[in-house]
Each structure stands twice: as structure tokens, then as C-alpha cells.
Amino acid sequence: MLGIIGGTSLLFADLPPLEKTTVATPYGKAEVHTGEFALLLRHQHNLPPHRINYRACLAALAVLGVDEIVAFGSAGSLKHEIPPGSIVIPTDYLSVTDIPSIHECTIDHVRPELDADLVRTLAELVPDARTGGVYAQTRGPRIETVAEVKALAKVADIVGMTVASEATLALELGMRFAAVCTVDNYANGLGEETLTYEHILATSRANRRRTEIILEKIVERLA
């Protein structure tokens, strides 16, 4: 079963008709919209990135029988050659903050990765996307400092606050995972505009129809 995770990039999209259900997990409850696929909106109850119950969210998808996940993530560009409005399908990720785990009482090491087959499928479905590159995750909810952006740019291409946590938990729960990242802004210090959350929302709103089309293609192929 296909699972879709969405956040800021899906805020303004017209979503397919699905039934909302609350799923109980060992880590808490999570709301999931279900039908021919499962859709989870990560910012439930308007929670900022650092307060999202990632373990409950990913466990809820596993409980519903999801075995592959495509996450939509809003990201900032760390490179001048990746302008706002771009789409990036990352092939690796790193985190400079804590990553949640379902393993509290046992030692179990997963090999972190983004699923190569899913990445290839997404590249076919979104030919205009830039396939490849590294997604860096910071804690949020604040935007990264100029110094942090300069440091991250040495090892990564885009920066966000959610996808690395979701990818790791998906692997721990036996689900394949890949991401489509909409680049909504240059990271702090790269662009001439003063970066604000309102600016990020405006870019997301302007690309609403494009995001809807990408979601439709993914559901048609994978659901």
C-alpha cells in the first residue's frame, strides 16, 4: 500500500477524497486519510517540526499496511544553482539534530537510505526534477543561521526539518521511502530577500497546481 506524507508543500493543494481516521499506536495516536492510498499530513494540529510525533505518524502508516512511502517536503536551497521553484529528489540525507527511533530497549542498527527503485520511479514521473543530492535536516522551527547554511552547503544541497526523521523511522518499520522536495526559497543568506515563513508559504501557494499534478501521477503509478 502506498503512503504519502505531506506538509507545507501540500497546504494549498486540492487533495483526493479520502476518509480521515485516527490510528492508535504504541507511540500515540495519529490522523491518517485513507482510501486507495494513505495520506498523512505531518503538521497535525498545526504542530511545528520539532514537536511532531514522528514515531506515531510512521507507526500509524505501518499499522494500516503501508509498505512504501513518498514524502513531500518543503526545502530551502543551499546552492545558487538550485533556485526557488525547483524540485529535488534527493538520494541521501544527513541530520544535525536528533533522529527518533522505535528502538528503546533493544540494539538494532538500520542502514539509512532512500530507496533507489522509488527514486528512479519518481524521476520518471517528475522529469523536470533534479534527481540526486543530499537533504540536510535541522531541528526547527527556526530558520538556519547564515553560518549554519554555509557549513551545510559543503555537504548538502537542500535543507529541511522533517524528511530525515521520517526516512529513518520508515526503514525501522520495514517501509521503503523516498522524497519529493519542493524548493521554496534560498536558504538564509543565499538570496537577496529577507527570508520569512510567509515567503515560503507564498512560493508553496504559487506552485499549488504543479504539486497536485505530481501527487496525481504518483498515486496513479503506485497506489
**pLDDT higher for 46 or 9?**
46
Task: Answer yes or no: are the C-beta atoms of 29 and 22 closer than 8 Å.
Answer: yes
pLDDT at res. 57 = 97
Strands 130-131 and 87-89, bridge-based pairing: parallel
Query: Does residue 2 carry a pLDDT above 70?
Result: yes
- Asked whether the predicted pLDDT for residue 75 surpasses 90, the reply is yes
The neighbouring-strand residues paired with 62 are: none
Cα separation, 66 vs 60, whole angstroms: 9
Eight-class DSSP state of 194: P
Q: What's the predicted TM-score (pTM) here?
A: 0.92
Q: Of 195-199, 207-211, 216-220, which gets the smallest average pLDDT? A: 195-199
In degrees, rounded to 5, the angle at the alpha carbon of residue 53 between the alpha carbons of residues 39 and 119 is 50
197 has pLDDT over 90: no
Give just the sign of the alpha carbon dihedral 133, 136, 141, 143.
Answer: negative
Query: What structural domains and CATH numbers belong to the chain?
Result: 2-222 (3.40.50.1580)
- For residue 140, what are the CA distances in angstroms to 45, 95, 146, 221? 17, 12, 14, 33
Measuring CA to CA, which residue among 71, 13, 3 is closest to residue 37?
Answer: 3
Read off the pLDDT of each residue in 95-119 and give the average, rounded to a whole number: 87
The bridge status of strand 158-160 relative to strand 68-77 is antiparallel
Q: What is the pLDDT of residue 60?
A: 98
Instruction: Work out the percent of the chain whose per-residue pLDDT is above 90.
Output: 74
Q: How many angstroms separate the CA atoms of 56 and 5, rounded?
A: 13
% of the chain beyond a pLDDT of 70: 96
pLDDT digits (tens, 9 = 90+) for 17-54: 899 999 999 999 999 999 999 999 998 888 889 999 99
